[in-house]
Homo-oligomer: A and B are copies of this chain.
Amino acid sequence: MELYNDKGFDATTVAEIAARAEVTERTFYRHFADKREVLFQPNALVDVLAHATETAADSLAPLEVIARALTEAAPVFEERAELVRQRQAVIAANPELQERELAKHASLVSTLDRALRERGLDPTTATLAAEIGIAAFKVAFGRWVGDPDRRTLVQHLRETLDATGHLTAPAEHSATTDDASFQGREDAP
């Protein structure tokens, strides 16, 4: 993390990382599939999401199931807000890393998709709900990371998920909405 922050991701060689960690380069590659993977390690998130989706009540709408799962997972981020923001800055500075992050998000979609199918949803609905759930998470996460007011991730999640319901209504322009002043991520990945 220090090296990536100091010199940038590209300019940091694996040899340097290995030296800093006092292991050989070969050993580095025994712990991390590649140079990027350092930033995408534990992913306790997957387990939380899968478990929360499995144990949700049967009667809930698909998106509500996801809403609860995401809410349960939020502490994973909120507990290490500073580290998360620092990591996000490194990723924002490098397209290769953004690509990898997309892949991680895709694996979350996959996890949710599988869990929803096991609840008995048909494949199309399950995949769609999973995709939309993670899409909402990305938006909420982006808002949270950049929120000058430091409101909680859970709040952002709730608002974002609520907003998904309004998307089929006729267009409301900025001037008429109550959150028009919010400044989200300017450039989506």
Contact = CB atoms under 8 A, between A and B. Distances in A.
Copies of this chain, tallied across the complex: 2
A170 B136 contact: no
A122 B174 contact: yes
Contacts of A189: 106, 109-110
A184 B180 CA distance: 38
A98 interface: yes
Interface string A49-73: 0000000001111111100000000
A172 B65 CA distance: 13
Contact of A170 (B61, B95, B110, B187): B61
A11 interface: no
- A interface, over-half SS: helix
Interface stretch (A1-9, A79-87, A157-165): A157-165
Interface of A: 58-65, 95, 98-100, 102-103, 105-106, 109-110, 113, 119-125, 127-132, 135-136, 138-139, 142-143, 159-160, 163-175, 177, 179-180, 182-185, 187-189
21 contacts: A59-B171, A60-B170, A64-B168, A99-B100, A102-B105, A106-B189, A110-B189, A113-B188, A119-B171, A121-B173, A121-B174, A124-B163, A125-B163, A125-B177, A127-B185, A128-B135, A128-B164, A131-B136, A131-B138, A131-B188, A135-B135
